[in-house]
């Protein structure tokens, strides 16, 4: 899949692209079923909210077949390779849940700011790509973006160790307000299977989910191979140390798995 000139222009100007219904319901189901199985485990990679509901499952592509395939899916890898212009490795893989009623906030931050300070990533030659595993609406804790904020470079941040179970380098209210005045604030919403690509410098957050509607999103953080991290102070399953370039699989790799599992279930 190749991005159009218009999409490339939009990404440069706004810092993100949104592609509704990018994966089929069949592909989404195999990923969502796998996520539910992972969240039910007590693995160290599964972090929970203070209420006990899942918050994040790290590195699922290393221990689950469906997510291994998503981590090398050409619909994800090829657009980012086009945007960055080089081969990529997986810096981080997360399945982020916003459980119904109990999903907590993700504060305002830049991902590269975290990767640079915590992991020693040299330059922002990295970005995120996200796949909705549930319908994302205005009600269930959507991502909030500050368009054009990626043009500001790395912004000063404070290290928040208290708000949630996950430590984060966060931006203060004055900075966020100024950036919003300059570029606005948007919340991309759409059906399960939709995809987002966004710059690692784009300021973003998400509010709590107090609705009865769950919201799960898979995030791949992809980095240029020769821009790999240089500090190893976080667990390997949070900040990966395998800098091997990702080899994209066939486009039907998830559909094949879904078909195989459907055939087994029917026996």
Least confident of 67-71, 195-199, 250-254, 262-266: 262-266
Res 266: pLDDT: 54
Least confident of 12-21, 43-52, 67-76: 43-52
Least confident of 43-57, 143-157, 253-267: 253-267
CATH homologous superfamily of 15-266 equals q2cbj1_9rhob like domain (2.60.120.620)
Angle 74-84/5-14 helices, nearest 10 degrees? 70
Q: Which residues, in sequence order, are bridge partners of residue 239? A: none
Res 156: pLDDT: 87
Distance CA 254, CA 249 (A): 10
Structure confidence at residue 159 as a pLDDT band (50, 70, 90): confident
Res 163: pLDDT: 65
Give 27's DSSP letter.
H
Helices and strands (H and E) in the chain: how many: 7, 12
Distance CA 218, CA 58 (A): 10
Locate the domains of the chain by residue range: 15-266
Res 161: pLDDT: 61
pLDDT at 158 over 80: no
Res 267: pLDDT: 56
Distance CA 191, CA 193 (A): 6
Tell me the pTM: 0.93
Q: Which residues of 92-131 are buried (b: 16+ CB within 10 A; e: fewer)?
A: bbbbbbbbbebbbebbbbbbbbbbbebbebeebbbbbbbb
- Strands (E) in the chain, as ranges, are 16-19, 46-48, 54-58, 88-98, 106-109, 126-132, 144-145, 158-160, 168-170, 195-199, 204-206, 215-224
């Amino acid at each position: 899949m190749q991005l159009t000139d218009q999409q490339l222009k939009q990404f440069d100007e706004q810092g993100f692209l949104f592609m509704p219904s990018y994966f089929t319901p069949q592909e989404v189901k195999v990923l969502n079923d796998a996520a539910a199985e992972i969240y039910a485990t007590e693995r160290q990679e599964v972090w929970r909210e203070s209420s006990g509901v899942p918050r994040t499952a790290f590195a699922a592509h290393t221990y689950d077949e469906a997510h291994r395939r998503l981590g090398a899916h050409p619909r994800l890898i090829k657009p980012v390779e086009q945007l960055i212009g080089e081969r990529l490795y997986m810096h981080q893989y997360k399945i982020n849940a916003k459980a119904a009623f109990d999903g907590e906030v993700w504060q305002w931050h830049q991902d590269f700011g975290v990767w640079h300070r915590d992991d020693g990533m040299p330059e922002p030659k990295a970005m995120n790509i996200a796949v909705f595993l549930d319908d994302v609406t205005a009600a269930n804790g959507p991502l909030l973006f500050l368009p054009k904020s990626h043009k500001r470079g790395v912004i000063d941040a404070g290290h928040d160790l208290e708000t949630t179970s996950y430590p984060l380098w966060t931006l203060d209210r004055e900075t966020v307000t100024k950036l919003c005045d300059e570029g606005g604030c948007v919340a991309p919403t759409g059906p399960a299977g939709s995809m987002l690509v966004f710059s690692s410098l784009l300021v973003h957050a998400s509010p709590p989910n107090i609705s009865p509607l769950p919201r799960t999103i898979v995030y791949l953080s992809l980095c240029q191979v020769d821009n790999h991290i240089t500090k190893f102070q976080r667990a390997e399953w949070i900040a990966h140390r395998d800098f091997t370039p990702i080899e994209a699989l066939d486009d039907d790799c998830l559909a094949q798995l879904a078909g195989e599992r459907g055939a087994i279930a029917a026996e």
